[in-house]
Amino acid sequence: MLTHFINRGNKSTKLGFGEGLLEAAILNERVVAIGADITASVGVDLFASRFPERFISLGIAEQNCVGVAAGLALSGKIPVFATYGVFSALRTTDQIRVSLCYNRLHAVIGGAHAGVSVGPDGATHQALEDIAVMRVMPNMTVLSPCDATQARLATMAAIQQCRGPVYIRFGREAMPDFTSVEMGFQIGLAQLVHEGSDIAIIATGHMIWEALQAAYELEKEGIHARVLNIHTIKPLDETAVVIAAKECGVLVTAEEHQVAGGLGSAVSEVISKQYPVPIEFIGMNDRFGESGTPHELMQKFGLTSGDIIKGCRKALGKKK
């Protein structure tokens, strides 16, 4: 068994994003950031106060923000633009498709307020379709880190290592911070965070913590669940997914996103072609979120460790 992960304290992935942006900006003066009014709410305030001359305020005009990012990228800058994912990925989809992706420009688009864990703001502000829309864009890289520490590393990697457009999603609520810098972060390489070969839980974002809790519970019953952290939705680590299917024989995916088009779909696309095994999906099922506390909403929509355990039992029942 690998590390037994412990929560060092709750921290939002949005803060991790803000710290990663600041750190990358200290290392590379080409990094510039675009603000669409809600900079503090998406973690960009750290950068803006440190580098006011490299911060570009464009107001509540997300379509323009993406186009401007394209122009900056064409002129030698590494632009980072973050706002709520419902706006940065969805309102601007055409700009991302043509100005960024078709032009293969290195810009980092941050999508905050991912998932229902946004809480009381309700459905309009809970990004649940961003992974689906971003991952179908040619040339796009899609990152979905699992905690604040990983969000920081992912953001730095998106800025320093990528050559094309990157979408990185992160949450609002302070959630367990449990990964370490030593674990590293390599785009496109899934992380094995819990060993086991009875079943594999393939998860992303906040659901990694829930998946780990589920695995620890199942362990007590003698069920050894593998947990794969898919922090990179695209390019998906197909090898890790197929090996999990082969070695475990049954899969459960877990995400704070619509199952349709999200991680569940991405994993299905791979295994249905390369190594079909029974699969269960934990995620949003073709519906909008609503108001409530993050915890209440995760429960209501079946996104807790308990729901993952239920999913595992159901999946194990189908195992040949």
Partner 1 sequence: MCYTLTNDLEKLGLLARAIRQSVVRSLAEAGSGHLGGSLGSADIFTTLYFSVIRHTPDEPLWPGRDRFILSIGHIAPVLYATLAEAGYFRKEELLSLRKLGSRLQGHPGRDHQLPGLELSAGSLGQGLSVSVGMALALKMDRLDNRVYCLCGDGELQEGSVWEAAMSAAHHKLNNLTVIIDRNSLQIDGSTEKVMALEPLKKKWEAFGWQALECDGHDFRSLLPAFNKARMELLHPSVIIAKTVMGKGIASIEGDYRWHGKAPTKEQAVAFLRELEGGIQNIEH
Stretch that binds partner 1, among 94-102, 150-158, 169-177, 276-284 (CB under 8 A): 94-102
Q: Is 70 in the site for partner 1 (CB under 8 A)?
A: yes
The span from the first CA to the last CA of the chain, in angstroms, equals 25
User: Helix, strand, or coil here: 220?
Assistant: helix
- Residues 128/288, Cβ–Cβ less than 8 Å: yes
Selection from 248, 268, 271, 270 nearest residue 319 by Cα = 248
Binding segment for partner 1 among 18-26, 59-67, 127-135, 218-226 (CB under 8 A)?
59-67
Among 31, 42, 68, 108, binds partner 1 (CB under 8 A): 68
* CB closer to partner 1 out of 63 and 160: 63
Of these, 6, 52, 53, 286, which contacts partner 1 (CB under 8 A)? 53
Among 12, 83, 88, 95, binds partner 1 (CB under 8 A): 95
Taking a C-beta distance cutoff of 8 angstroms, is the pair 167, 111 a contact?
Answer: yes
Residue with smaller CB distance to partner 1, 70 or 303:
70
Which residue among 8, 15, 37, 64 contacts partner 1 (CB under 8 A)?
64
The structure tokens listed for 163 are 């050559």
38 near partner 1 (CB under 8 A): no
Strands 232-234 and 175-176, bridge-based pairing:
unpaired
Q: Which DSSP symbol is given to 181? A: G
Structural tokens at position 127: 């990004």
Pick the binder of partner 1 from 31, 44, 48, 66 (CB under 8 A). Answer: 66
Cβ at position 136, least distance to partner 1 in Å = 16
The helix/strand/coil state of 305 is helix
Query: Phi and psi at residue 222, in whole multiples of 5°?
Result: 85, 10
Q: Is 136 in the site for partner 1 (CB under 8 A)?
A: no
Give φ, ψ of 144 to 5 degrees. -145, 80
Give the residues lining the site for partner 1 (CB under 8 A).
32, 53-54, 56, 58-59, 61, 63-64, 66-77, 79, 94-95, 97-99, 102-104
